[in-house]
Amino acid sequence: MPAGLLAKYSSLPALAVILLFCVPSSVSSIMNSSQLRPVGCGELASNPSRVGWTGTRYLASSLSTQSDPYNQTLKLKIAAVEPVFTTTAYSSFYSFYSKYATRNLNGTIKTDLNLLNASIVHGWGWSDALRRFLISTTVGDQYDIVLGRNLSFITEVNVTQGALFRGDGTRNYDVLILGFTEYVTVQEYYAYKSFVTTGGVLVLMDATNFLAQVEYYPRTQHLALIRGHGWGFNGTMAWRDIFDRWQNENTNWIGGTFGVGSSSGAGYAGAIPLDDNTVGRALKEKYGSRVFTVYQGHEENVLTNLTRTSIIANWVQTRKPDFHPNVATYLHYYRGGLVADLGVMGSDVIMSDGSVQFFLSQTLLFTAEFDSGVTNPPSLPATTTNMSEQSSVGAAYRPSPVGNVVVMSLGDRMVMPLLLVGMILLVSFLAAAVLLRRREHRAV
């Protein structure tokens, strides 16, 4: 080949190498300047509630539901339990308690026993305000809790007879809401415990839970005291006995138990919300440094187990300066589920205290995220196992989700066409150079 011809085409290989490096570099520059959103550690790229929404949000707000942040509660199966056993006990048992409060302190009693074996009385009793709130337009319009849609009413009779579980042992509900549930059957008590053990969420809106054991007789529709509230009863006589039937067991799986009676004289100036969990932070953000201020005092639970417990708010007792009961609103994790305890008689004020209503709604939203695995119990390491698979673009970037559709940004849409055009031009140039070289070689 003549020297001039070699010099004329010796730069072609070098040019091809330059183009091969330049095209990917251009692609990389385009992608780095695109509109793709970086996803920080722990955020769910597949969950619009975790990315893209920077306005005021409590739990579970999302891009598609900014005007309705509570729509996640619609996917929950919620049941509120009518406390018919406690209603029945208050219709009769207390006449016996009052009559024999100071009599036969060390012996047995065989009179007036019919008062401890009462006919069932249906109704919500002290918790009727909770029932009225749950069927109100407020709870439906503001919090997406709708009777007949995601909310059902069941009774303690239903719970005693196995209504919480299907035949295969799976739960019929995600959440149970309890009001004033002082008297329960042993079947009911352990149904609640099993419900939490298997991943359910138990919300206690009133205090003095599970204080006494009763027996339900479906054939005669009667309820008899067995043990608790200071008495024991076997059908033929009554005697002095323990006050809190399941005190130690309540501490284990509920996190607390009855602690402050109505005769204590305690009074409260609301509660101080903490930042330990999302429910407490949401309360603090919306209502400030003091919540639940309408409640003055009635009966309260005390927090007795801090293991795997996350405090939402600490109650401030002010009426008795030297009395400092550990009354708290909290979340207690037990096995696969959790218990959310307001700690006081919430039914007293739920119709008038917006922060008590907000506690219930935020707890349900917390449940929706807890059920989906987004939230982590205290003392358990946070993980990112729920993060979607990384995009091929790179570890720091992923497509922007809108609903269930992945939308490519402008930069994404330009990358592939430019890359294709660049490769076509490169191949065309090299092919033309080879053909030209062959023609000149034959001419020589």
- Specify which of 48-57, 69-78, 95-104, 393-402 reaches the highest per-range mean pLDDT: 95-104
Q: What are phi and psi of 429, to 5 degrees?
A: -65, -45
Tens of pLDDT, residues 97-136: 999 998 877 789 999 999 999 999 999 999 999 999 999 9
Domain 70-371 has CATH 3.40.50.2000: no
User: Between 66 and 172, where is the model more confident?
Assistant: 172
- State the Cα–Cα distance between residues 49 and 40, nearest whole angstrom: 14
Calculate the alpha carbon distances from 273 to 15, 77, 290, 313, 353 in Å: 68, 28, 7, 4, 15
- State the Cα–Cα distance between residues 175 and 162, nearest whole angstrom: 16
Tens of pLDDT, residues 169-184: 999 999 999 999 999 9
Q: Domain ranges for the chain, please list them.
A: 3-34+411-443, 70-371
The number of angstroms, rounded, from the C-alpha of 71 to the middle of its chain's C-alpha atoms is 13
Average pLDDT over residues 16-25: 48
* Across 106-110, 389-393, 428-432, least confident range: 389-393
- Specify which of 22-26, 99-103, 153-157, 422-426 reaches the highest per-range mean pLDDT: 153-157
Q: What are phi and psi of 123, to 5 degrees?
A: 140, 165
Q: Cβ distance 223 to 184 under 8 Å?
A: no
- State the Cα–Cα distance between residues 31 and 323, nearest whole angstrom: 65
Cα atoms in the 13 Å half-sphere on the side-chain side of 442: 5
Q: What are phi and psi of 30, to 5 degrees?
A: -65, -45
Closest CA to 51 of 413, 411, 414, 407: 407
Number of helical H runs and strand E runs in the chain:
11, 21
Closest CA to 247 of 256, 238, 237: 256
**pTM above threshold 0.75:** no
Q: Cβ distance 371 to 76 under 8 Å?
A: yes
Q: What is the 3-state secondary structure (H, E, C) of 185-241?
A: EHHHHHHHHHHHHCCCEEEECCCCCCCEEEEEECCCCEEEEEEECCEEECCCCEEEC
